[in-house]
Amino acid sequence: MNIPASIPPSLTFHHSELIQAISATLILRPILLLFEHCPLLIHSATAILSLSCCLISQPSLPLSLLTIYLCAESAFHLLFLHRYRQLHQTKLNLLPPPIPSAALRQQIVDGLISSFQSSSDFRQSLADWFYHIHTLKAVHLHQIHHDNLAQLLASLIFSTPLDSLPPVHRAEIHADIRRTQLAIKHVFKQGLNPQIRSYQHTLDPIQAQHRPLFFYLIIESLRILLHILLSLLGFRRHSIPLNQTSFSYWFHPGFSNPSSAQHPPIILVAGIVGLISVSLVGWPTVSLTLSKPELDLVRVVRETVNNEDAPVYRRKIQTLAEQSLSLKAMLDRHGFPPRSNEHKDTDQPQAGGAFLIGHSLGTCLTAHFVRHHPQYVVGTLSIDPISVLPYIPDLVSPARPLLPVAPIPSLTVFSSLRSEDSYTPSPRRLGNYWCE
């Protein structure tokens, strides 16, 4: 966008910030405040209306229907509390998070340091990872001590609390802190500042919040309408089971003559928001209470484990490696072979393979698929890509509104990406499986 010369850039930026502040104060905060106190309001209204129906010999139909709906809202909230408790109080032995290799850990730190244009940007971004426990004031760099940063790096790189790391990994973190100090030209004070904490997205408990029943009914209705629209356009829904998980996608056979030369299919991999932008929730499958499979635990089958060992469980969510295998199985199922001349340096059109379009978090799957199954890829396109390396504060701080992704009418294969965000109210937790 070109800014007219008569308008100073600082003034335009100021007006933009002012509009955002007004929108957040007058629109977003009242909605969130209503949602926060929604259970209390619903329970109170249910009790009052139920008492009114008992006192009135023949209550009106609207009053009766409203009472029934509020009772359903109350039951929905109780179910939410049950599922939330179920999420946080499991006594099963969960599979530990994967730890990147030493080479990949080095790549993570190198990428962190080199991704900032200046040391001041690095310092500001680093401070954004921390928050005060008792106040809403912003954290400044001088308030971050050595052990505060060590706790953050332990969660980012190893998905493990600092105190649980072996000495060799703790020494590696201390070396990374020394490299960080050289990059930002600042020396952190020794010890721990107990007044601040860091966002630890793989360790912090999931702070799911209750949303009223009508909110989810609207989202589920939009999801059903989307499925109907895709069906009318000729798409058909398929799923691929793998390791007690499921990979779902929409497939369109295309409009070309079957007897003609087969063109590479187009695969669109959506991000967290997918085709519906709901900034207050994230995905249409975020509900803790609508019997979604993302909360289920499945037993991990490992050939190297003795039968006498305690069973290990994992969330029913596919890893990037499993999604790549499912993507390959999807292409094989519909008769799309790999490229025949993968290793030949030629400009001639190649038969086989697919063209991948990734959006947002979907670019993580496309990158993983290209790296591990290059023979199935003829080209890629990344739209608003993000890095799978979770060192960007915006990924773990409260979510900002996201733009919707419209379906491409001519796409051949549509794939939907599931992640551990599928039951959280915002892109606050990417999950351990994404640190591959």
**For residue 307, is pLDDT > 50?**
yes
Element (H, E) at 298: strand 297-299
Identity of the amino acid at 378 = V
pLDDT (mean) for 187-193:
95
Q: What angle, rounded to 10 degrees, do the helices at 167-184 and 102-114 form?
A: 20
275: Cα separation from own chain's centroid: 14
pLDDT in tens, 41-89: 777 877 787 777 777 777 788 888 888 888 888 888 888 888 778 777 7
Burial class (CB in 10 A: 0-12, 13-18, 19+), 172: buried
pLDDT > 60? residue 411: no
Res 196 pLDDT > 90:
yes
Alpha carbon separation from 112 to 65, 279, 388, 391 (Å, rounded): 56, 27, 12, 7
C-alpha 186/C-alpha 178 separation (Å) is 10
Complete DSSP assignment for 366-433: HHHHHHH-GGGEEEEEEES---SS---GGGTSSPPP----PPPTT-SEEE----GGGGSSSTT---GG
Which pair of structure tokens corresponds to residue 299? 């037993």
CB count within 10 Å of CB 89 equals 7
pLDDT attached to residue 12: 40
What is the DSSP pairing of strand 196-198 with strand 377-383?
A: unpaired
Q: What is the largest CA-CA distance in the chain?
A: 85
| Residue 22 in tokens | 């007004």
Helical H segments across 24-89, by residue range: 29-36, 38-55, 61-88
**CA nearest 49: which of 37, 28, 67, 71?**
67
d(CA 11, CA 240): 53
The residue with greater pLDDT, 262 or 112, is 112
Q: At what angle do helices 213-232 and 61-88 cross, to 10 degrees?
A: 90
- Cα separation, 248 vs 263, whole angstroms: 23
- What average pLDDT does the segment 98-124 reach? 83
Choice between 255 and 110, residue whose per-residue pLDDT is larger: 110
pLDDT of residue 119: 86
Give the other-Cβ count within 10 Å of 208's Cβ: 21
Q: How far, in whole angstroms, is CA 274 from its chain's centroid?
A: 11
Q: In the chain, what are the domain boundaries?
A: 9-88, 102-198, 213-286+317-434
* Burial of 151: CB neighbours in 10 Å, binned 0-12, 13-18, 19+: buried
pLDDT higher than 90, residue 319: no
Average pLDDT over residues 256-263: 63
Gap between the Cα atoms of 382 and 403, Å rounded: 15
* Ramachandran assignment for 325, one of left (phi > 0), alpha (psi -120 to 50 degrees), beta (any other): alpha
Identify residue 115 by its one-letter amino acid code.
Answer: S
Distance separating alpha carbons of residues 402 and 412, to the nearest angstrom: 25
Contacts of residue 137, defined as CB under 8 A and 6 or more positions apart, other chains included, come to none
The first and second tokens of residue 314, run together, are 């994992």
pLDDT tens digits for range 204-225: 776 677 778 888 788 778 888 8
Give the model's pLDDT for residue 397: 37
pLDDT, tens digit, 9 for 90 and up, residues 387-409:
544 444 433 333 322 222 333 22
- Reading the block at residue 409, the tokens are 């009418």
Task: Tell me the whole-structure pTM to 2 decimals.
Answer: 0.66
CA distances to 36, 161, 411, 412, 430 from 236, in Å: 39, 44, 13, 11, 29
Average pLDDT of the segment spanning 32-46? 74
